[in-house]
Amino acid sequence: MSFIKFFKRSAKLSSVNSTNAKKPFYRRKKWKVFFVVLGIFLICLTSFLAYIYATGSKIFENGFGGSSLVRAIKGEKLNGEADGRVNILLMGRGGENHPGGLLTDSLLIASIDVKNKKMALVSVPRDLYVPIENHGKDKINAAFAYGYKDYLSDSCKKKKQSDCTDDASISGAQLTRETVSNVLGIPIQYHIMIDFEGFKQLVDKIGGIDIYVDKAIYDPLYPDKEMKGYDPFHIKAGQQHMNGEIALKYSRSRETTSDFDRSRRQQQVLSAIKDKTLKAGVLANPKTVLDLVTIVGNHLRTNFNPSELKALAEMINGIDQNAMITKVLSSASDSYLVSDSSSGTFYLKPKSGNFDEIQDMVKNIFSGDSQDKTVLKVEVLNASKTAGQASKLASELETNSQFNIVAIKTAQEKSKATIIYDYSGGENKTAVSFLEKKYNAKVVQKTRDTSDGVDISIIIGDDFSASS
């Protein structure tokens, strides 16, 4: 009986194996499961790539096709790189749904010295009175609006003007870039523009930013969202963690502080975003990256292509971040600009009557000036009983191309006298002597290893006067 069972069982297995041998491999159960999983994966991948393509097509003004991706992988040089300097215009504006959204609220030039691997930020005030092609003279923040509206009225070929907004934005950005280029006397190869909502979402998505606030701010005249009333803004002095909403207000507020302070705060925020993105591993999280792509897709525009952005990221990664040069065009004392309200509207105009001095400063920003002076890194610490003194002193020195203000802080201990700590080993006697006389300060020589990478520290005492 056991022999008969064994015979039947062997016959059954033989029949099953024979049947499987006759079936094509793709009809077998395990292969069916594999193909189902593969199909789902390909659908998801295709959807993801289609989303990335659609988003990229909105972000990049010059297109986002297969050739762009190939060049991004292969690598590509930036415009201006062969000449040794790449200049990028960074613009912030309200956006189409924001009152006055076509006016650029902030304008900064990020300039890169390719050979020496240095970077400079130059803030241009929005009230600067400049010539705008085909529109006479106006505030520089109106250039985008002029270019945008010109396109809609003269070049829009579509039935609905609302379908031309992307091309109109390109036109506005181009006119702004050309206007700033003419004023500063340098070629500006690229621009990046983001609106307020995109800025807030971006800061929130990276988990907020940390900034040291040198002086408490209370701005009762900060405009509300409808630009019809006020939404008072207040922030305390000291180290502060800011979400997107607070960071935007910190960047925009100017009613109770100077244009210099406002521009410096914008530079602080930009540096904080860069540091948080690069150092906190934000770009290593796939979900965060996808969310950031969505944000910038809806709110950011640029004439970079993907391969150029890759080259830019590699270039910035090789720059000494502690050697960052920051300059602000302001109406502070010893500055290049003066205020003018003779027409009934507030403007900032060149003190000399033309832009020659400003252009000379910008062109020679990496060498100090035409005599190739060494640019000294300076930190300013307020050790006096009066708040805001560090910002005042920095405001006075900011327009001197030999001094790069790298930090503004509050000293841990108070001091009656203003002291200058010289970490340069006596190599910069002329500059130190200038500061000594200007602020009637005592000079103390210190070894560099105690200075956190700066050449000079100015400790403001109770005897300091910003007008000295």
* pLDDT (tens digit per residue) in 291-328: 676 677 777 888 887 778 778 878 887 787 666 788 88
* Segment 451-463 mean pLDDT: 84
Q: Are residues 311 and 396 in the same domain?
A: no
- Residue 85 CB partners (closer than 8 Å, separation 6+): 111, 112, 113, 114, 186
**DSSP-assigned letter for residue 452:** T
- Distance CA(375)–CA(96), nearest Å, equals 41
Q: Are residues 321 and 374 in the same domain?
A: no
Q: 364: which 2 tokens?
A: 């020679």
Q: Are residues 175 and 202 in the same domain?
A: yes
Helices 66-74, 306-317: inter-axial angle, 10-degree rounding: 20
pLDDT at 372 over 50: no
The model's pTM: 0.65
Q: Is residue 416 part of a domain?
A: yes
Q: Is residue 206 part of a domain?
A: yes
List 86's β-bridge partners, or say none. Answer: 112
- Distance CA(321)–CA(318), nearest Å, equals 9
- Distance CA(370)–CA(38), nearest Å, equals 64
Q: Are residues 46 and 84 in the same domain?
A: no
Task: Write the pLDDT tens digit of every residue in 162-176.
Answer: 888 888 988 999 999
* Segment 34-47 mean pLDDT: 55
Domain limits for position 411: 367-460
Q: Is residue 333 part of a domain?
A: no
pLDDT band at 142 (very low <50, low <70, confident <90, very high): very high
Total domain count for the chain?
3
pLDDT band at 370 (very low <50, low <70, confident <90, very high): very low
Q: Is residue 210 part of a domain?
A: yes
Q: Is residue 359 part of a domain?
A: no
Q: Is residue 12 part of a domain?
A: yes
Q: Is residue 228 part of a domain?
A: yes
Q: Is residue 358 part of a domain?
A: no
| CATH number, position 188 | 3.40.630.190
Q: Are residues 148 and 88 in the same domain?
A: yes
Q: Are residues 80 and 37 in the same domain?
A: no
Q: Are residues 280 and 392 in the same domain?
A: no
- Residue 175 CB partners (closer than 8 Å, separation 6+): 132, 133, 143, 144, 146, 147, 150
| CATH number, position 391 | 3.30.70.2390
